[in-house]
Amino acid sequence: MMKFSKSGTALAVALALTAGGAGAAVSLSGATTSGGSVILWSEAGGVLAPTPSISPAPAAALAGVLAGSAAAPGGNVELSKFAGPVTTLSGTLGGTAISLRSLTLNDWFVGGNVATPTALTSSYISAAYSATHGGAAISAPDLQAATMSFFGIGGQSPYKFVSDPNVSYVMQDGDEVKIGLAGFLNAQAALQAILGPGIAVPANAYASEVVSVEYAGVSRYLYSFAQPTASSVTAGDPNGSYTGNYEVSFKVPEPAALALASLGLAGIAALRRRRR
């Protein structure tokens, strides 16, 4: 009878996972929605058509609009509307749970108070300014003015417009999780609303909505001000909704690294047994 040590088994797992990590990208599986309502934007002939707000989304229809990629984003699922009730998209990537949710006022302002913006608000506005001003940092007075405009003092509330992300795809490619956010190919008008009338925004500017992601117990906000790729789809409106694909991503531990960590723990356990 052949005998295998725990450390040998862990090493075998590590080697197997290393070999598997170089395979094709893994798409989101078992997708479901919960909480508030969603809008499914289905694509046909390059044109997107919305369904009425629904909750939860039918599994087959949800899988259909999330079947895209960076090369061909296709349709998307819109989570909530204008910072409404939190809506969550959940599923698994290679066996690991992942959830994406919409944002509310409290993500941007503590207690819903303009005087207490969250770190997300300051980071988002600062990054928006830097992206449209050659990497320059925003001044304290401009940040304060933009924050008040973002909240919506005396007018519309721009934070609402970036709180209902439109997700086109979710996939893991090697050690990266990649998410497609449908948006404007040219977001100049949206950025002007975000930064307020006191800050000039160039003719060609870019900005995605924001999505909150939880993966392997870690939560993060994802967004982009980099130039998007053309999605080759349109909602048919004059603003150019969903004509751009903003891909946001984050790194995850290599499967082999996780297995090697198990190998290390197994080795420590074996050493302790020998000392007894």
Query: What pLDDT is stored for residue 272 in this prediction?
Result: 52
In the prediction, which pLDDT does 19 show?
43
Which stretches does DSSP call E strand in the chain? 26-27, 29-35, 38-44, 47-50, 76-79, 87-93, 96-101, 166-173, 176-183, 211-215, 218-222, 229-230, 244-251
Instruction: Report which residue type is found at 233.
Output: V
Confidence of residue 264 (pLDDT cuts 50, 70, 90): low
**Residues contacting residue 3 through CB under 8 Å, at least 6 positions apart:** none
Q: What percentage of the chain exceeds 90 in pLDDT?
A: 79
- Cβ atoms < 10 Å from Cβ of 30: 10
pLDDT (tens digit, 9 = 90+) per residue, 163-193? Answer: 999 999 999 999 999 999 999 999 999 999 9
pLDDT computed for residue 242 by the predictor: 98
CB 13 within 8 A of CB 261: no
Alpha carbon 259 to chain centroid, angstroms:
27
pLDDT value of residue 52? 85
Q: How confident is the model at residue 154 (pLDDT cuts 50, 70, 90)?
A: low
Distance CA(92)–CA(94), nearest Å, equals 6
Q: pTM of the prediction?
A: 0.84
Provide the b/e sequence for 110-119 (b: ≥16 CB within 10 Å): eeeeeeebee
The predicted pLDDT at position 77 comes to: 98
Q: What is the pLDDT of residues 131-153, one digit of tens each?
A: 999 999 999 999 999 999 999 97
Q: Is 106 helix (H, G, I), strand (E, B) or coil?
A: helix
Q: Quick check: 273 pLDDT over 60?
A: no
The predicted-structure confidence for 35-94, as pLDDT tens digits, reads as follows: 999 999 999 999 999 998 899 999 999 999 999 999 999 999 999 999 999 999 999 999
pLDDT at position 274: 56
As a whole number, the mean pLDDT across the chain is 88
pLDDT confidence band for 17 (50 / 70 / 90): very low
**Cβ(73)–Cβ(182) below 8 Å:** yes
101-127 confidence digits (pLDDT tens): 999 999 999 999 999 999 999 999 999
